[in-house]
Amino acid sequence: MRQPYILHIDMDCFYAAVEMRDNPEIRDKPVIIGALPGSRGVISACNYEARKFGLHSAMPISRAVKLCPKGIYLRGDMDKYSEESDKIMAILHTFTDTIEQISVDEAYMEVSDLGKLFGTPEQIAVSIKKKIKEELGLTASVGGAPVRFVSKIASDLKKPDGLLIVKAEEVKDLLAPLQISRLPGLGSKGCERLHRLGIRTIGSLRKYPASGLRAAVGDGMAEELFDLANGVGYTEICTEREAKSVSREYTYQRDTNDREKLRKSLLYLTDDVARRLRASDLKARTVQLTWRTIDFNRHSRQKTMDFETNSSDILFQEVEKLFLEHLSPETYVRLIGMGTSNFNGEIESDQLSLFECKSKPDERLSRIDTAKDKIALKHGEDMLKRASFVEKNND
Ligand SMILES: [Mg+2]
């Protein structure tokens, strides 16, 4: 069987780089994209010159101005960046269509079967970097490895304008000295827990006694952590990123303004949507409440959160807020629905967001969700219908 090989392509301080390219006078200056000085927002991206002053994404702009008063502060132009993004992805598609774009400036691609056409992964990575440089005047960092998360680590390690190709037999040595915070999905709480066990590097995690780790974090998580520490992880490239939204609606037999009934329906619908998100490895930033009134008019209200999630409970909290705010108790509705969109940094990556976008780390919730998903797989989703949604068919 063919061994997978994955490249991770990540543009270097993308928004700032586009501005520097288009405006040579600011090229050697600290360039900060995001909120403007005097406002309450944060940095979404800054160049390396600005990082020398201690600036980084998500920093409040007020603090940035104190640290770097002479910086060039720009609001940014999302339309321009997304046009550039399309051009970058078009360049990647000249090599293969097995590409998974994960944000405006980041993508994974499978290159193991391109040998005859384009050469080794290293040759392909070099060609990609060269094309992006020549055609767009921008630099990309590229990492390559047999699994996704290692390729991402590799592209990050040599930034900017980096290239690091990791062979299967080199993965463990590459990971060993790195901080465990580099592992995907661990979050700050997860790191803290491992730190308390004296585990700081990925190498020390790998050598930790299995029984001790199981006792500390549970069997499932221990297994996952050992896998990661040994360089075992996802290799699949999901080329279908067509799902722009995941939603579900429910139509009542009779119009209703029964608040409790509506709320329970929403809870049930949210559970279902969240489970589908988790099954597809999607996290959403935008939550939408939809309802149809007696006159058949559709209404919807949505909220974009400053984090992304696929937790049933968090999604429900958000949609419930919309429900309480916007659907008045007098309104009779025929249909109610909940939807999610803006998946996995679709608007922007976490490094480059105009609005800082991070997964909300809540391990407890995500473990409950994982457990529920497993039961659902085994016994069918009906097992899991929230006990409170009992009136589904007798309204
Ligand atoms: Mg980037």
CATH of residue 210's domain is: 1.10.150.20
Ligand 1 centre from 191 Cα, in Å?
23
Note whether 69 and 92 are same-domain residues: yes
pLDDT tens digit sequence for 380-390: 444 444 444 43
Q: Which residues contact 42 (CB under 8 A, 6 or more apart)?
A: 34, 35, 57, 58, 59, 60, 61, 355, 356
Percent pLDDT > 70 in the chain is 86
- Is residue 235 one of the residues assigned to a domain? no
pLDDT tens digit sequence for 242-263: 557 788 888 887 889 999 999 9
Structural domain of 276: 245-384
Which residue has tokens 């301080």? Answer: 13
User: How many domains, the chain?
Assistant: 3
Which of 146, 167, 188 is the last residue before a domain boundary? 167
For residue 374, name the pLDDT band (cuts at 50, 70, 90): low
Note whether 80 and 190 are same-domain residues: no
d(CA 199, CA 132): 39
* β-strand partners of 338: 248, 289
Residue 29's CB is within 10 A of a number of other CB atoms, namely 16
Asked whether residue 128 carries a pLDDT value surpassing 70, the answer given is yes
The model carries a pTM of 0.64
For residue 97, name the pLDDT band (cuts at 50, 70, 90): confident
pLDDT for 275 equals 86
- Is residue 240 one of the residues assigned to a domain? no
Mean pLDDT of 3-18: 95
Ligand 1 centre from 258 Cα, in Å?
48
Ligand 1 centre from 195 Cα, in Å?
28
Note whether 183 and 156 are same-domain residues: no
- Is residue 288 one of the residues assigned to a domain? yes
pLDDT for 388 equals 40
Instruction: Could you list the beta-strand ranges (E) of the chain.
Output: 6-11, 31-34, 43-46, 72-74, 99-103, 106-110, 140-145, 163-165, 245-256, 284-293, 298-309, 333-343, 358-359
Asked whether residue 168 carries a pLDDT value surpassing 60, the answer given is yes
Higher pLDDT pick, 366 / 57:
57
Give the side-chain half-sphere CA count within 13 A for 100: 21
Ligand 1 centre from 296 Cα, in Å?
45
Note whether 295 and 355 are same-domain residues: yes
Ligand 1 centre from 287 Cα, in Å?
26
pLDDT for 130 equals 98
d(CA 83, CA 134): 17
Residues bordering ligand 1, an ion, CB closer than 5 Å: 10-11, 105
d(CA 326, CA 301): 7
Residue tagged active-site, from 19, 49, 100, 106: 106
For the question of residue 106 being annotated catalytic, the response is yes
pLDDT for 282 equals 85
pLDDT for 332 equals 92
pLDDT tens digit sequence for 198-241: 999 999 999 999 999 999 988 888 888 999 999 998 887 877 54
Note whether 215 and 117 are same-domain residues: no
Supply the CATH number for residue 326's domain: 3.30.1490.100
Ligand 1 centre from 11 Cα, in Å?
4
d(CA 239, CA 96): 11
Ligand 1 centre from 232 Cα, in Å?
24
Mean pLDDT of 97-117: 89
